[in-house]
């Protein structure tokens, strides 16, 4: 959508695609496909047991997020989802990794947790929705922290 300045183009395009899908079976199939594309955090970034400060609050799937600064102010995002039944958390993590990882921290910091409802619609419980929004919020917090660190250097 053009009224979303600053949202990385890949994420905007994916959200627009999800906005057009009313068939819930197709939506679920797409989300399961994304979950299958999930890539866990590489060992050079983090290994088990993962540090508590990387854990996403309220996420029942025990999700963790890391943001590694790259040249030019972009961030490389990495995720872990410990719950083997955390298909939604894996799908969202894969979507974020594919659409915003490598984007400028300033753009990532502006992404709204509302993207969760655009992607999943009403197909998630309140608790799961809070956890998924928590993943987005954690990504935003890491991006904001990266910007603060950069401005104090």
> Biggest alpha carbon distance in the chain?
49
Q: What pLDDT is attached to residue 151?
A: 62
Q: Would you write out the chain's pLDDT as a tens digit for each of its 153 residues?
A: 445 666 899 999 999 999 999 999 999 999 999 999 999 999 999 999 999 999 999 899 999 999 999 989 999 999 999 999 999 999 999 999 999 999 999 999 999 999 999 999 877 888 899 999 999 999 999 999 999 886 654
Q: What pLDDT is attached to residue 2?
A: 45
Dist. CA 17–CA 15, nearest whole Å: 5
Q: What pLDDT is attached to residue 1?
A: 42
Q: What pLDDT is attached to residue 6?
A: 67
Q: Report the topology of domain 9-43+60-152.
A: Sufe protein. Chain: A (3.90.1010)
Peptide bond into 53 cis (omega under 30): no
100 Cβ contact partners less than 8 Å away, ≥ 6 residues apart: 8, 10, 11, 77, 107, 108, 111, 139
Residue 6 near residue 58, CB atoms below 8 Å: no
Buried (b) or exposed (e) across 77-110, using 16+ Cβ within 10 A?
Answer: bbbbbbeeebbbbbbbbbbbbbbbbbbbbbbbbb
């Amino acid at each position: 959508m053009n009224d979303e300045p600053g949202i990385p183009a890949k994420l905007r395009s994916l959200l627009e695609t999800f906005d057009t899908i009313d068939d819930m079976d197709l939506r679920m199939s797409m989300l399961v496909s994304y979950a299958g594309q999930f890539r866990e955090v590489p060992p050079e970034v983090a290994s088990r047991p993962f540090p508590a400060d990387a854990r996403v609050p309220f996420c029942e799937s025990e999700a963790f997020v890391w943001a590694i600064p790259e040249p030019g102010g972009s961030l490389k995002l990495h995720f872990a989802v410990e719950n083997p039944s955390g298909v939604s958390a894996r799908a969202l993590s894969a979507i974020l990794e594919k659409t915003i990882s490598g984007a400028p921290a300033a753009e990532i910091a502006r992404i709204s947790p509302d993207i969760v409802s655009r992607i999943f619609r009403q197909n998630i419980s309140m608790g799961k929705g809070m956890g998924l929004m928590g993943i987005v919020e954690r990504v935003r917090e890491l991006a904001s922290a990266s910007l603060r660190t950069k401005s104090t250097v």
